[in-house]
Amino acid sequence: MTAHRVVTDHDELDNSGQVSHAAIDSYVNTTPWVIVSGTAGAVPPGSRKLVAGTGVSFIDAGPGGDFTITATSTAIEQKRLLFRRQNLNLINVATGSNIALLSTSLGTAPANYAVVSHPLLVESTATGSLVALLSGSEGSYGSHSMAQLSGSSVLTPKNLVVVRDAWTGLHLTGTNGRDVYGLLQVQSGTLTGDSFNDTIHRSQISFVEETVINGSSSLQPVPSAKIGGQTVQYSYVSRTTIADVPEDAYLSNTIFLDIPESGTPSTSAVITRTRFIAGVKSNVAAGTNITFPTYLDAALGDYSSKNFQQQVEIHLNGVLLNPGTSVLDPNDVYPGTTPSAGDLKFVFKLKSGSNISMTIY
């Protein structure tokens, strides 16, 4: 495009020599693109006026000077985006319960401000943690609720949290082996922009799973027996702007972890694991106490201070076994006579040459 600056002030014709009005009119009326300074009159019929749009400004220095076009990125910087923020603190779900009450003092509540949703409220586009408000028909704090903020599908509400076993990092499973998720919710009276606390702006997770009825999927509460007594971690949905995303966000991952208002990362659980491998030296009958050196060529680990079902993994020839608690609840493998020596008992016989792998979290 070739743009021409059109005369808008007679003074601009000084020292231009002899130019007739007809010549000026002819030139102006055939100019395809016109840049007009100030508050000029009508644009010539054959021309188009260059106008500054949103985030764009013009500075016209006049004849012989520069015509500067400046564009700002405000609109792009304020673009909203959703991402998952992890909370790595341990949450103990009460036995017989299918909800988890979160705490700011323990670091299990979301760290940034609430963005509240409710059927009677207009959805906010504010930045912060997306939560459903427990009020009226949506239920109350301390009880399981299906309150949710609608998302792109019935299975992906915006307040859906991803839940993991805190010790293994694996999905928890509910009815028919379906993955367990949660809905992040906040008690009645909380407003968008409020900080979470342990008094009047308390938060909770109501655990849910997918159900399919007549070919249609939806979320339903997880039975308490499937989630109660578990230790979990979760990640929730937060909204931010492009301007607030640190340059190194995808290098250090700092934006994806909870950062309290003080700017210090919340105390996170450091999960370590130790693996022991031993070979079975001879055929062993079911229920025998498998111990080193009688039956094993190497000692297994001390798990006496651990929860055998949640913090110990046993693989036999590469196959993960289902842990039990005792001979009365054995499953595949259960603690042996001396846990501090790594002893194990199996409900089936072991063959010589088998390999046992024990991982302690």
> What are the tens digits of pLDDT across the range 132-142?
999 888 999 99
Is a pLDDT exceeding 70 seen at residue 341? yes
Which pLDDT value is given to residue 315? 93
> What's the rounded mean pLDDT across residues 252-261?
50
Mean pLDDT of the region 342-355: 95
Share of the chain above pLDDT 70, in %: 78
Across residues 234-257, what is the average pLDDT?
A: 73
* Contacts with 282 (C-beta within 8 Å, 6 or more apart), sequence order: 295, 352
Using DSSP bridges, classify how beta strands 128-134 and 180-187 pair: parallel, antiparallel or unpaired.
parallel
226 SS3 class: helix
Dihedral sign (CA 328, 334, 337, 339): negative
pLDDT for 251:
64
Residue 217, strand partner residues: 212
Mind listing the pLDDT tens digit for each residue in 295-306?
999 999 999 999
Which one is predicted more confidently, 56 or 157?
157
Q: CA 322: distance to chain centroid?
A: 30
Contacts of 176 (CB under 8 A, 6+ apart): none
What pTM was computed for the model?
A: 0.56
User: What type of residue is 284?
Assistant: V
- pLDDT band, very low/low/confident/very high, at 152 (cuts 50, 70, 90): confident
Report yes or no: 255 and 105 within 8 Å, Cβ to Cβ. Answer: no
Whether pLDDT at 265 is above 50: no
pLDDT class of 53 with cuts at 50, 70, 90: confident
Instruction: Categorize the per-residue pLDDT at 268 as very low, low, confident or very high, splitting at 50, 70 and 90.
Output: very low
Q: What's the pLDDT band for 104 if we cut at 50, 70, 90?
A: very high
Tell me if residue 323 falls in helix, strand or coil: strand
- Mean residue pLDDT of the chain comes to 82
Instruction: Encode 285-306: b = buried (16+ Cβ within 10 Å), e = exposed.
Output: eeebebbbeebbeeebbebeeb
Residue 208 confidence (pLDDT): 96
> What contacts 294, CB < 8 A, 6 or more positions away?
none
Residues with Cβ < 8 Å from 314, sequence gap 6 or more? 320, 321, 323, 332, 333, 344, 356, 357, 358
Write down the pLDDT at residue 171: 86
- Between 328 and 202, name the one with better pLDDT: 202
H helix count then E strand count, the chain: 5, 20
One-character DSSP codes across 181-224: EEEEEEETT--TTPPP-SSSS-EEEEEEEEEEETTEEEEEEPPH
In contact, 296 and 357? CB cutoff 8 Å? no
Asked whether the bond before 246 is cis by omega within 30 degrees of 0, the reply is no
Q: What is the pLDDT of residues 171-228, one digit of tens each?
A: 888 887 888 999 999 999 999 999 999 999 999 999 999 988 887 889 999 999 999 9
Which H or E element spans position 227?
A: helix 224-227
Nearest to 48 by CA among 67, 33, 27, 30: 33
| Res 262 pLDDT > 50 | no
> 23: closest CA among 38, 7, 45, 36?
7
CB-based contact 102:91 (threshold 8 Å): yes
Rounded to whole angstroms, the Cα distance separating 211 from 221 reads 9
Q: pLDDT category, 29, cuts 50, 70, 90?
A: low
Check residues 360 and 3 and name the one with the higher pLDDT. 360
